[in-house]
Amino acid sequence: MIAREQVRKVLEDWIADEMDALQVWRWGEQAKEARAPQDALVQDLVDTLAVLPFEMITTGDARVMLDALANPLNETDLSVNLLWNHLDGINPDVRRTELQDHPFYGQFCDGMG
């Protein structure tokens, strides 16, 4: 089972530069293949990390994900809404422009949009 604590650790390590975006993405892909999330929030977070470079998900977004994880388990619906409200507010074209020269994200910016 993929627990909230595992996701929290990945996000915290990413924010602290102990993991880079490629490692987080790979973790997300592997976690998605495992298909054993603790709850709906973990599922949505794993799904988001599994498409990290294509959706231009950054450490700024990881902070919002941590906020969602901070809510109690019985408030999973609230946490999921927090996550999706944030993600829906991302303008992918703006992100692609901002990240086009980034060593990791840049390779995913061409031909998208």
Own/partner long-range contacts of 107-112 (Cβ < 8 Å, ≥24 apart): 107/53, 108/53, 108/54, 108/56, 112/54
Residues 82, 72 contacting (CB under 8 angstroms): no
Domain boundaries, the chain: 4-108
Q: 10 burial class (0-12, 13-18, 19+ CB within 10 angstroms)?
A: buried
Query: What pLDDT score does 55 carry?
Result: 93
Residue with tokens 């592997």: 30
Structure tokens belonging to residue 64:
């919002």
pLDDT at 112: 52
Residues 39/3, Cβ–Cβ less than 8 Å: no
Does the reported pTM lie above 0.85? yes
**What are the residue ranges in the chain where pLDDT is below 50?**
113
pLDDT for 113 equals 47
Using alpha carbons, select from 63, 32, 69, 37 the residue that is nearest to residue 49: 32
Distance, CA of 74 to CA of 48 (rounded, Å)? 21
Structure tokens at 16: 């602290």
Query: In this predicted structure, what is the pLDDT of residue 110?
Result: 76
The Cα–Cα gap between 52 and 58 comes to 8
